[in-house]
Every structure is written in structure tokens, then in C-alpha cells.
Amino acid sequence: MRLNAIFPTRDIGSDPAKIRDWAQAAEDLGYDHIEVPDHVFGATARGDWKPVYSEADPFHETFTTLAFLAGVTKTIRLTSGVLILPQRQTGVVAKQAAEVDILSGGRLRLGIGVGWNHVEYESLDAEWKTRGARQAEQIEVMRKLWCEDLVTYTGKFHKLESVNIVPPPIQRPIPIWFGGSSDAVIKRAARLGDGWMPIMAPDEQGEAKLEELRGHLRSFGRDPATFGIEGWLRMTEANPDLWAKGVEGWKRLGAQMVMLYPMYRLPTFDRQIETLRLFKEVAGE
């Protein structure tokens, strides 16, 4: 079981030295990936809608942060966790991902989602209702841009004629992993993805979702044994016993990776580093 570290974007602050030191600590402790969350805008509550993260929650920009982390680390892999792909221009994302892959020496994994924040979509002038279909087409376009010398493509959302990305990424293509756990996302991940990174407990419901995924993989002629699974342990309290139980549960279900995802705040740098150490300890790694 490999352990991944969520970049503490809400609590790390704006000191580049602390960002560097945190990333190097994760690398020195033997974490497999650093995963950088994504939100462009904070948003206030309105009517019956209340955001998971509000205007008071800082989020460092995903690709800029990944590029910085590439420069201050040597071996740890880097992931967007997860990038809300349909609210962005596909070609720009493909270019940004290619550049991070180059700067990191081929260490990038692109984690993608469709998101929950319709206010953010509206503020970015992006279509909310078609986000799933757009995401599927975006993946096809990005892989062409990463792998082909010249791309001509016409789809529902994209029209490209003899264009390319230079320089191309080291990985051709860059691995794409899906976040989210709706039935539509699971089926799309099985059809198009290299892996799945759900936020859910490794309980009966989680096991049923995994069986659903594996059934779709088989129906698409894909081998479930070669498909990546990373369980995200979303925790509301710093309880190492619950962490250990979650890790064991994901091991039982066959995940190759697991990541602690604290929903509580880690207000000091020392506590952020101690959380990395403690999770590594209780996970038995």
C-alpha cells in the first residue's frame, strides 16, 4: 500500500519556504504522491446553497503550485487532486500539464473531476449542465495533443485543425485518474481513465462501488487488475485509530494507494508535518 499526501492548501500559507519544506518532508518520509487540490474561486453561501469551501478558504493555484513542487522535489510524484476539468479550456490544461510533466521529469498524474460548485462554473463562464460530456471529450483531445505530432479533431465541444503542443510531455500520454463517485463518473472512469480516486469509506457501499467499477471495466474489455485505485480518507477529526481502520479497509478492497484528507484545519506548520509523520506511522509504512 502506497501513501499519498494532500497538499495543505488551506493552511500552509504563502511563504514559499514553508511550501518547499513541507513538500520535501513528504518526500523524505517516503510518500508516493503529493496531491494539490483545486478551486479557482471562493464563494459565499446563497439561498439554500452552501459551499463545502467558502470565501474564507485559501486555495493555491493548482498548476503553478505543481510546477513549484517539481522544482523543489526530486522523486515524489505529483498529482492534481482533483482538477475541475470542464470549467477550463482543454488546450490550456493540456499545455499546463505537459509543462509540469517536463519540469518534474515525468512525475505528473492528472487527477480530474467535474466538481460540485455551480457558482464557480458560472463565474468562469463555463457550462454546468454539460460538464460530464465535455469532460469525456476533453480527455480524448488532451491525449491526442500529448501524443500526436499534429492534431485535427472535430467534436461537440472542440474543433482543432493541425495544431500541436511543443514541447510535448515526457509521458505520452500523461496518466489520467478520476475523482468522484456518481454512477456516471464511475462508468466514465472505467471507459477512459487510468485510475479512480474516490472520497468514500471502505465499507459496504464503497465495496459495492468498486464492484460497479470493475464490472464496467470488464464490459469495456479492460483488466481491473491493471486499473489504479486510491482511497481518500476524508476525516473530520485527528483520530489515528480511524485512520488505521480506513487504511486496512482499503487494503482489503484492493486499493494500491490511500490518502488522508483532513477536513479539519491544520493551523500550524508543525502540526502539518506531524500529521504526515503520524499517518505514515499508523498506516504501517
Q: Is 29 buried (19+), middle (13-18) or exposed (0-12) by CB count in 10 A? A: middle
The pLDDT tens digits for 187-236 are 999 999 999 999 999 999 999 999 999 999 999 999 999 999 999 999 99
pLDDT for residue 95: 98
What band does 284 get if pLDDT is binned at 50, 70 and 90? confident
The pLDDT tens digits for 77-110 are 999 999 999 999 999 999 999 999 999 999 999 9
Number of domain units in the chain: 1
pLDDT for residue 38: 97
The secondary structure of 98-122, three-state, reads HHHHHHCCCCEEEEEECCCCHHHHH
Quick check: 27 pLDDT over 70?
yes
pLDDT for residue 48: 93
The pLDDT tens digits for 109-154 are 999 999 999 999 999 999 999 999 999 999 999 999 999 999 999 9
229 neighbors 195 (Cβ within 8 angstroms):
yes
Detail the DSSP E strand segments found in 44-93.
77-80, 83-84
Q: Is 45 buried (19+), middle (13-18) or exposed (0-12) by CB count in 10 A? A: exposed
Q: Which three cell numbers stand for residue 161?
A: 485543425
Supply the CATH number for residue 21's domain: 3.20.20.30
168 neighbors 143 (Cβ within 8 angstroms):
no
Give percent above pLDDT 70 in the chain. Answer: 100
pLDDT for residue 285: 62
d(CA 101, CA 119): 30
212 neighbors 186 (Cβ within 8 angstroms):
yes
Domain holding 55, by residue range, is 2-282
**What mean pLDDT value characterizes the chain?**
97
Q: Is 223 buried (19+), middle (13-18) or exposed (0-12) by CB count in 10 A? A: exposed
pLDDT for residue 209: 97
- Which amino acid type is present at position 67? A
